[in-house]
Structure 1
């Protein structure tokens, strides 16, 4: 599965189905035994089991943000519910645990378009803009690859990046626009830190091209043949 979030959701639903439920703490977070399982099986970039357990023997749900967000999404979409100290699948959740295509259609639009991404980001600020504008512009600007800083400049006109005084605005844009699209599997980011700079290159994935129909599609240039 190209979508990190879809893969995590699919694994979580299947785990709950196979085990009957997932245990919850007093604060209704997933218990550590499942959090550890999720860390090992999600294999989330930057949060692999090796990285997560390097300095801590135990990891709580809130320390593994993808799972915390996913837990919220599954409850919000009524794919699961809390009942007698455990997370249990609803009838709808059990059905989608067998259908990744339907799960994608249910989960990803809701995650990208409806969630307040600043709520789980390191930056409290929200970038100015709307999803239809962001996605239509990214559709063109990132068609053959671009950089995080170039995308920011395309929207806001200011050449900010992580090395300027506007790094917070850049961070809010990255956290609330680019990262959700990456988690959804629609964008791919590669970071070049070998030169001492934090340059981020942004590319559209095949999933972007197959899943989205946008107003700016007619502006795209054919991919050159090598």
Structure 2
């Protein structure tokens, strides 16, 4: 039986507010409803006027206008990588399509307008389980051993009090070899496991996001508890009782 840990959430469920990805999608829908289709560059990227609007409107933790303009004089889609990820996701799910130099919602995509719970139910399993999160990384030559069933169940227990990429690496694969070298596996866990869960809103970074991903501490959000049912939930109940 395929691994499917996600539960259906009502459109009014307050935990949905913890998802930056869902917020970006619903606000993109609202932009199209108010302004019409989004203009595309000749290469098929969103035009700057929308990228600039999205940087303000998405309210993405650690990636607001001040953060983005600190390293870019102007904003193209790729400069706001979270937006580029949403663009690819909407096309892959056939929520939107390119037509005559514009991005438009499809008839299928329009059925999700005003239904954030249903939209999250579509996006979350596809994004976690089917998207190649390492496709734009230098670390994509060797893939992590394991599965999302393992990753989610382990994080469910280990992140109860907060977890780092280094700690998750030790739990799953043992400690790295001694020495000052960069730990590739911890870096992969950040890119392929922890970051996608943060973007979905299942995890959040405790305090301010640090430049070195290994220094960040990740904790479960209310959306994790509302949206997931996992085998290790029973272990957590046992821990609480004791």
- Residue 18 (1) aligns with residue 34 (2): yes
Structure-2 residue corresponding to 1:99: 115
Contact 2:169 2:185 in 1 (8 A): no
In terms of fraction of residues, the more strand-rich structure is: 1
What secondary structure, in the 3-state scheme, does the structure 2 residue paired with 1:87 have? strand
Residues 160/52 of structure 1: CA separation in 2 closer, same or farther (3 Å cut): farther
Q: In 1, distance between residues paired with 2:24 and 2:239? A: 32
Residues 109/52 of structure 1: CA separation in 2 closer, same or farther (3 Å cut): same
Q: In 2, distance between residues paired with 1:64 and 1:160? A: 35
Decide which of 63, 74, 82 is 2:90's aligned counterpart: 74
The answer for unaligned runs of 5 or more in structure 1 is none
Decide which of 144, 158, 163 is 1:127's aligned counterpart: 144
Q: TM-score, normalised by structure 1?
A: 0.89
- Residue 177 (1) aligns with residue 193 (2): yes
What secondary structure, in the 3-state scheme, does the structure 2 residue paired with 1:81 have? strand
Q: In 1, distance between residues paired with 2:240 and 2:234? A: 16
Decide which of 168, 172, 175 is 1:158's aligned counterpart: 175
Which digits, 9 at most, give the CA deviation of each residue in 1:45-98, with x for residues without a partner? 222101212343311111111011100110111111111110011112122121
Q: In 2, distance between residues paired with 1:164 and 1:66? A: 31
Which piece of structure 1 moves more, 205-214 or 49-58?
Answer: 49-58
Q: In 1, distance between residues paired with 2:186 and 2:105? A: 38
Q: In 2, distance between residues paired with 1:199 and 1:86? A: 41
Q: In 2, distance between residues paired with 1:197 and 1:36? A: 26
Which piece of structure 1 moves more, 203-212 or 51-60?
Answer: 51-60
Decide which of 183, 203, 206 is 2:222's aligned counterpart: 206
Q: RMSD of the TM alignment (CA)? A: 2.5
Decide which of 148, 157, 167 is 2:165's aligned counterpart: 148
Q: In 1, distance between residues paired with 2:116 and 2:92? A: 18
- Residue 8 (1) aligns with residue 24 (2): yes
Q: TM-score, normalised by structure 2?
A: 0.84
Structure-2 residue corresponding to 1:112: 128
Q: In 1, distance between residues paired with 2:195 and 2:214? A: 16
What secondary structure, in the 3-state scheme, does the structure 2 residue paired with 1:78 have? coil
Which digits, 9 at most, give the CA deviation of each residue in 1:113-138, with x for residues without a partner? 11000013453343222100100111
Aligned length: 223
Q: In 2, distance between residues paired with 1:9 and 1:141? A: 30
The answer for unaligned runs of 5 or more in structure 2 is 1-16
- Residue 41 (1) aligns with residue 63 (2): no
Q: In 1, distance between residues paired with 2:133 and 2:40? A: 24
Contact 2:20 2:60 in 1 (8 A): yes
Which digits, 9 at most, give the CA deviation of each residue in 1:11-57, with x for residues without a partner? 11221222220000101110111011111111222221012123433
**Which structure's relative contact order is higher, taking Cα pairs within 8 Å and 6+ residues apart?**
2
